[in-house]
Structure 1
C-alpha cells in the first residue's frame, strides 16, 4: 500500500505545482515537486506505521571450548623447558594463529579452580593452585557455554594429571560433542623420589610396637640409597635405610607410641641430588593409639555351651582382653575371680545366667555401681532367666518387666527390628543392615517380657514381634539383654545351612565393643573422614546422632564449627549419616566441634582435630597421564595428540560453519529522525518558494 501511494503523491504534487503562480520551470520545478513529495511520503509513513526489515546473513566460525591446565604439575621441566612453557610457545606459533582465524576458541584455565581467560593472553598464562580438578573444570565450562553459541567440540590442553574433585571420565560419557586433548611432547621425568601413601596397619595400643606401611617410588634412582625418617612434633623418632628399586615399593616401619590418642607423624625421604622436585619426598600420616584393649569379664552361673561359645567368640577378637569367672559350686569357681576390686578394672561385663548362690548382695551392689559409673553389661538369660535377678536388683535396673516367669518354648525365628537400623551396633559394627537374620535357624524359645522404659530399644525380635535382644541404660551405663538361650546352637545350624554364617558371633563382638565405648545421651558424633589431608583437597566431615529421638533428629540443623571461625553445614544422606565438605582449606592444624540445633535444643559433640598438610596433593604424581586423556576423548569421537602433532588434530576437525541470520527492524513512525527530516525538507521548500516570490 505504501509503494502504491508513492506515484499518486508524486502526480498530485506535480499537478499542484504546475498550476501555482508564478509558474516555475526547469530544475527548480522538479526540486520543489520532489521536496513536497518526500514530505507527503514521510507523513503517510507516520499514519500507516510501516516496518522496514533488513536481513544480513553472517557466516560464523565453529565454536570450540578450550581448557588449559595451569596446575603446579605443569611447572615440571621435562627437558629444557617446563610443560607450561611448551604450551605458551605453542600459542605463539604460526599454526595456532592460523587456527584462531578458522575457529572461535573460548579459552578457560584451570587448576583447583576454573576461570575464563582471553585468547590474546594465552602466551602469558602462569602456574597456580594446589591441585588439578579436571572434572570440575569440564562440568563448569560446558554448563556455562550458552554464551559461546553452538559448541562443536572441547579441547583440553593438559598433562592428564587429575587428583581431586569429580571424575572427568564419568562426566565425559554424557557429552554430546567430541573432546580432543593435547599433551606436552616431552613426558619423561628423569629422576624423582616420592612417597605415594603411608597408612597404619591394624589396631594400635600404647607401649606396643605399631606398623606403618609406606609406599614409595624411586624412579631413576634404582640401586641408590637414602634414609626414611619419621618425626613427631619436629622431633626425629625413627630413621631407616632405604634402597630404591626404581619402581613402586612398600616399606614397613615400626614405631613405639608411648601414649594413647592420635599421633601425627611426618615421614620423609632424605633428598638425593638430581630429583625433579623435593616437594613430594614427604607425607603426613596419623596413628590412632588406644590406651589398651577393651577388658571383658565373662561370668557364667555354670559351665555350658553358651558360655563356651561366647568365650571363643570374644577371645578371638584382637581388640578384646577376655577373662572369665565360671561357677563350679557355691562359693567356688573353676577359673578367675569375682570381687569388687577386680570389677573396677573391667570395661564390659558379660553375664550368662544368674545363680543367687554365686552373687552376694555385696557383689550385686558392686556390679550395679560399676554399671552406674558407665561400664557396659551384656546379659544373656540362659536357662535361669531374669526373675530372681529382678528381685535382687533395683527395679530401675532392668528396662523391662517379666510378664511370664516360665520359658516360652517354641521355634523363634529372628529379624532385625525396624526401629534398630540406626543403632550404632548395626551402623558402626561389622554387622550389615542387610544381613538375613530371617534365614537363620530358629531359637528354641524365649522369656516373654514387657518393656517398661522409653529408652529401651528392641534390636532383634521374633517374626511374631517378641523382643529377643534389648538395648537399655542404667544411669551412666549401657546394657544389652538377650532373652533366650542356646545361641551356640543357631550359630552352628546356620553355618551348616550357609545362612548368614557367623552372624551371631559378629553380633556378640559388635555389642561388646559398643558397650565398651563411653558415650553420653543425645550425643552427636562427627569426625573428619581422614585425620590428614594434603593441600588442595577438600575435607569431608561425616557423623550421626547416637540415641537421639528420631522425630527430634528430623528437626535438627547439623554443622561443624572450626577454630578459625568457619562453619561447615552437614546434610542428611540416604544412609542416615550427615555429611559436609570443607572446600580447599589452607594448610594448618584445625580443631573443630560439631553442633546440632534441634528446635530449642542445642547438642554439641566432642572436639576433634584435622590436619591439612603443607605439601600439595599435586606433587603425589608428576608423570603425564596419557591413558586418562585417551579414555577422556575416545567415547565421543575425539582423540589425543602430542603438542608437536597438533596439526594432525586440526586436520581431523571437520566442524561445519554455521550461518546466522541477523534481522534489523526499522519503524519510521517511532524514529525521531523522520520528524526532523520533515521539518528540514519543509524549511528548504519554504525558503525556495520565498526566493522565487511564491510566498
Structure 2
C-alpha cells in the first residue's frame, strides 16, 4: 500500500521537567514583583524573554512521520453442514468461495473458514465466527461474510462482540456481516414434527401420538390439506388426513410385546426443496399390562419365600399364590379356619379363569387328589394354547402323586423313573453348550467355564454355590440348558404347540438366595425363565437381528443350531428386494452380513420364518428439521451490522457480489459489498527538526530583555524630570 506522511509538533526537553517547572515559577514571581513596583511594561517584556527561554528549554520539534496502513482481514465462513448437500447448494458455495478467495481487493485479506457439522445441535456459524476472529487484532478485523443456506442454530439477538468492537478502530463501532445465500431465492418446504410419542405402550391397545405438519416459504398458508401415511414394523399401514399448522392426534395399534418401529410420512408439498423432513421413524416398546402369574406351592418349603419375593418385586406382575397345607384325604380335626383364610378355589382357577393367566408355576406340587383329571387336562390345554408352565421338581415328583403320571406329564420335557433317580450329593450346576448360547442362561454371572466336568467345577473357587439334591431323568426332549450331578439334565425348556414349558429337576435353587457356598444368580435365572415362558422377544433362542448405522445394514442370526451359511431377503423402504448371504463370523461363528443402506424409512429382513426391522437413526435432528434456503434467520443480523444479503443464484451461473474497501465506503450496494478501512498501520520513518533554533531563541530573548531595560530607563528619566 502507498505510504502516507504526517506532520505534528513534539517536545524533547533539554532539562528535567521539574527544573523546567521551577524556572517557570521563578519567572512568574519576578514578573509579579515587577508589576508591584509599577514597571508593568518592562515586567511583561522580561516575562516574555523568560517564556522564550523556557520554550526553547522544552525542546520544541517539528516531527515528520511516514507510515503504511496494514491490510485488513475479512472472514469468509463457508457452511458445509449436511443441509448444504441438498440440491446444488454445495456446488454454489464452492464456486462462490473460490471467486471470493481469489479476489484482489487492495488493503483487504480474505481468510476462509469451513464450518462443519457438529453432529448434535445444528449449524453454528456465529460460534465459528467467534473462534476464527479470536486471533485477529481488533484494529485489523474488517468484518465477515457467510456463504450458507440460511439455516443457522446460534444466531444471537444482539450484535456479537467480534462485530461490535469497543475501541472503534474503524471510526465506527460495528463491522459489517454480509450474508450470501446458496440459492436463487426463498424456497418452500414441508416438515413433519413429532410433538409427543410414548416410548412404551400396552400390547393389544392403541398408542396415541401428537404430530404437526408445517409449510413454510412463498405461497404457503396454514390449514392446507395433506395426508399422513403410517407404517409399522408388523406390516400394518393406514393413511389419515391432516391439516398444516395445527396439532393432531393419531393412533397406532401395538399388536405385540417388544420393540416396534413406526414410520410416518406426510405427502409432499409441490415445489418443496426436499422430502427428508417429511418423514420420520419412531421406536416404541410394547409391554404387557400386568402379567398374571398363578403360583401353586406344595407343602411349605424353603423355596416358597424365594418365589414370592421375586414375583412380588416385579411391578408388572400380578401374583396369585396358594400353598397346599393339607391334602383333602387327610383329616386331623384341625378347623379349616386355622388352615386358610379362604377355601382353595379349584374350579375358579383351573377352569373358569385359567386362560386369564400368562404363567402357571407349580413349585413342589404333589397331586394327592387335589386336582381332578379334568383340571389337569385344562392345565395341559392352557399350555398348548399359548400359556407358560414352570415346574420345579423335588422328591414329590417321583411319588404317588407325581404330575408326570397325569395329563400334565404329556407336556413335560423330561420323564423321571420312580426308582433310583434321586441323587443326593453335593454338586454345582453347570451350563451345557446350548445353555451358553441360549438367551435364558447365556452370560449368567459366575457360571463355571466351558470344558470343565461337574466334579472339576465343584472345586473351583468363585463359581456358583452348590446344591445337594436333584433328579436324574431317563428321557428328555427340548433344550437342556443346565446339567446337575454326573452331567444329568437339570434345567430343560421346551415348546409345546403354541405354549412353553420349563422343568427344573431340583427343589434347591433357594440355596443360592441364602448365599450357600457363595450363592448364585437365582433371581436373574428365574426372571429369565419366567419371561421366556411369557415369550419375551429378547429371550427368544432363534433371533434375526437387523441394525442400521452410518449407512450400513448389518444382519445377525442368533441360533442354538450350529452356525452355517444361509440367506435372508432384505426389503428396502421403497420395496426393492435383495438377497443377502450370512456367513459365520467371530470366535463363536455367529452368522452375519452387511450391505449399504441409504434409503430413509423402515428396512425389513426375513428368512421366511422370522422377520426383523430397523431404521436409520437421525444423528442431527436440528440440522434436518428446517431445510429450505431462507434469509429470514440472518437478514436482521446483517441489517444491524450494516451488511447486505445476496442470493447467489444457480450452479454454473453464480452471481457473486464484488468486494470494495475504503474508509468512507458505504457497507453494501445492489451487487457489491464493502469493508471499512481500519486504523492499523506500521511507521516506516520519522524525522525531527528544532522548531526554535538556539540562536533565534537567544536573539528574541535578548531583544525582549533590551526592550524591557529601555522601557525601564524611560520610566526613570521621566520620573527625574
Q: TM-score, normalised by structure 2?
A: 0.47
Q: Which has the larger radius of gyration?
A: 2
- Please, what TM-score do these two structures have when normalized by structure 1? 0.48
